[in-house]
């Protein structure tokens, strides 16, 4: 029997089986089994070359599918020891138990150094601690409250476009729409009225620079010698120069106002908060280059991740008619009680809405895998971790690990209702990482996530416009092609 979505599109049994399989990514041509690789040095060498080749197009190919049945796997490749982790205890040990034994490492440096330079995302040790203290006020409860109205307004603007698409019987380009949504929110949250007349140009520049920064040449990722061909980044450096030419004067104007003795405005935007952030211990402000680096970093770390969570999440909801109806009914009921569209506090108070966003982040974590590099000798159970060892915590596998999750491929927001959380490992769900370096922007991401669900679902019935998207691992978990979706007014 076919499972019909509300618009009458058939979700075929094969699609349902693919959607609900425990692993998100199953390679088209699987590598030799781990047991065979462990037995033969030659096979290991050949496989490293094969993985490098495949990984250059899709980083998910670097993760051995049999890791799903293991807690971790240790390999040596390119002169490095790499431990891939599919275990919540191991993840907790590295991220929270002994974080000072690890740094972000070479990979982060490669991805971010040319564009964003040194920032909270890439620094380590005491300099990172100090920087984190300085940027945290931009994401505290007061700052998040300050952007609530911005989020609501831009979500409404996106939904207006959906209304027009629904009336015209057109599909919406979901990838485009949520990308624009996340960019518009970030632009206004950071720069409020200072965006000038050209927010679209600046948004597009930001987008291009960030997308390029997020796809470093594979030869750099694999530490290949300088003669190995690399994609040119000249164009991206040009966009960056254009962006800097816009951003620096904006920062300078705010710095000049601070120097002239002006207090932080009553309703500061995030740039104001960074300009006025003062280290309690040293009394120092961030200098202009550091503010620039932080602004670009926060855009890079926050924009694509959030947009991807909406693209994956709304697509999945479009294929889950029953769950979608239940969520829509819960949101509509709360709307009726509130007498209008839900504000963030009211949306958060409908338990199924934040639970659904958590479930989306479990199945499709935009930061699929995060890395560390050991700087001190460490040990976890019987794994000796020498300085230099790279650890890859495969969040996407932990999130579908049957040791922590029943029917891991099934989309079930109720897992995250308070009553069903008891006894779950605290590191079984880590879409935002964990420990001291947990995502600084998670409250903003959650605010956006809950608002998108709270405003979209009671008004529109979502249905798919094509087969489920295919995952592609860059630094984030992207879809191979833009995702399209059908919307109908309720
Ligand atoms: C759904 C959206 C998001 C996801 C899934 C996500 C995920 C993550 C993860 C997993 C980390 C930890 C990385 C590690 O330990 O190596 C992280 C760190 C970070 N995120 Fe997010 N993030 C999201 C949204 C945001 C937003 C909206 C911002 C800011 C506007 C942001 C800014 C940052 C920064 C600056 C760090 C580095 C923190 C530090 O090292 O101290 N993220 N994020």
Rounded CA gap, 411 and 424, in Å?
Answer: 17
Q: How high does pLDDT run on average in the chain?
A: 91
pLDDT tier at 210 (50, 70, 90 boundaries)?
A: confident
For the segment 255-305, what is each residue's pLDDT rounded down to a tens digit?
999 999 999 988 899 999 999 999 888 889 999 999 999 998 888 888 889
Q: What is the ipTM of this complex?
A: 0.99
453 contacts 474 by C-beta, under 8 angstroms: no
Q: Determine the pLDDT at residue 337.
A: 96
Q: Determine the pLDDT at residue 63.
A: 93
Rounded CA gap, 186 and 195, in Å?
Answer: 11
Q: Determine the pLDDT at residue 110.
A: 74
Q: Which of 112, 121, 301 to mutate to test the pocket of ligand 1 (most atoms within 8 A of CB)?
A: 301
Q: Determine the pLDDT at residue 79.
A: 80
- Ligand 1 centroid–CA 391 distance in Å is 18
Give the residue, by CA position, lying nearest to ligand 1 atom 19: 439
7-21, 113-127, 202-216, 318-332: range with highest mean pLDDT:
318-332
Q: Is the dihedral of CA 409, 413, 414, 417 positive or negative?
A: positive
pLDDT tier at 423 (50, 70, 90 boundaries)?
A: very high
CATH code for the domain of 234: 1.10.630.10
User: Using a 6 Å CB cutoff, which residues line ligand 1?
Assistant: 120-121, 132, 297-298, 301-302, 305-306, 309, 366-367, 370, 431-433, 437, 439-441, 444-445
Domain hosting 451: range is 3-489
Q: Examine the pLDDT at 233 and tell me if it is beyond 90.
A: no
**Which atom of ligand 1 lies closest to the CA of 371?**
16
Task: Count up the domains in the chain and report the number.
Answer: 1
Known binding-site positions for heme = 439
φ/ψ of 76, rounded to 5, equals: -110, 125
For the segment 88-111, what is each residue's pLDDT rounded down to a tens digit?
999 999 999 999 999 998 777 777
Q: Determine the pLDDT at residue 260.
A: 95
């Amino acid at each position: 029997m076919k499972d019909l979505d509300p618009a009458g599109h058939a979700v075929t049994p094969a699609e349902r089986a693919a959607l609900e399989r425990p692993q998100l990514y199953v390679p088209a041509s699987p590598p030799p089994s781990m047991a065979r690789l462990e037995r033969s040095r030659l096979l290991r060498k050949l496989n490293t070359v094969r993985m490098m080749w495949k990984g250059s197009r899709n980083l998910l190919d670097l993760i051995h599918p049999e890791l799903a049945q293991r807690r971790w796997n240790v390999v040596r490749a390119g002169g490095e020891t790499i431990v891939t982790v599919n275990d919540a205890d191991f993840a907790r040990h590295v991220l929270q138990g002994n974080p000072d034994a690890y740094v972000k490492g070479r990979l982060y440096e490669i991805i971010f150094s040319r564009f964003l330079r040194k920032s909270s995302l890439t620094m380590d040790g005491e300099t990172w601690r100090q920087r984190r203290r300085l940027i945290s006020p931009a994401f505290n409860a007061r700052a998040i409250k300050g952007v609530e109205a911005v989020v609501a307004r831009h979500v409404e603007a996106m939904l207006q476009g959906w209304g027009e698409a629904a009336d015209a019987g057109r599909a919406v380009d979901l990838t485009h729409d949520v990308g624009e949504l996340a960019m518009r929110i970030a632009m206004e949250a950071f720069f409020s009225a200072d965006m000038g007349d050209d927010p679209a140009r600046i948004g597009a520049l930001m987008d291009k620079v960030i997308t390029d920064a997020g796809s470093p040449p594979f030869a750099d990722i694999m530490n290949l010698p300088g003669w190995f061909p690399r994609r040119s980044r000249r164009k991206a450096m040009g966009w960056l120069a254009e962006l800097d030419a816009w951003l620096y004067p904006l920062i300078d104007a705010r710095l000049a106002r601070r120097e002239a003795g002006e207090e932080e405005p009553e309703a500061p935007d995030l740039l104001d908060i960074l300009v006025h952030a003062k280290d309690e211990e040293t009394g120092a402000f961030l200098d202009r280059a550091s503010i620039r680096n932080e602004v670009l970093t926060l855009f890079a770390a926050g924009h694509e991740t959030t947009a991807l969570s909406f693209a994956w999440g709304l697509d999945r909801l479009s294929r889950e008619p029953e769950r979608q109806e239940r969520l829509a009914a819960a949101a509509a009921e709360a709307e009726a009680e509130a007498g209008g569209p839900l504000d963030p506090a009211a949306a958060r108070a409908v338990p199924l809405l934040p639970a659904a966003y958590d479930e989306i982040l479990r199945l499709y974590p935009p930061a699929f895998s995060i890395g560390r590099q050991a700087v001190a000798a460490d040990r976890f159970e019987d794994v000796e971790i020498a300085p230099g060892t790279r650890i890859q915590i495969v969040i996407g596998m932990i999130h579908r690990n049957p040791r922590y999750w029943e029917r891991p491929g099934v989309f079930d927001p109720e897992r995250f209702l308070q009553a069903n959380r008891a006894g779950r490992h605290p590191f079984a769900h880590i879409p935002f990482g964990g420990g001291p370096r947990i995502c600084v922007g998670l409250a903003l991401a959650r605010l956006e996530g809950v608002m998108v669900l709270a405003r979209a679902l009671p008004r529109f019935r979502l249905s798919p416009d094509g087969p489920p998207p295919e995952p592609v691992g860059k630094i984030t978990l992207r879809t191979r092609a833009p995702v399209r979706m059908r919307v109908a007014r309720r």
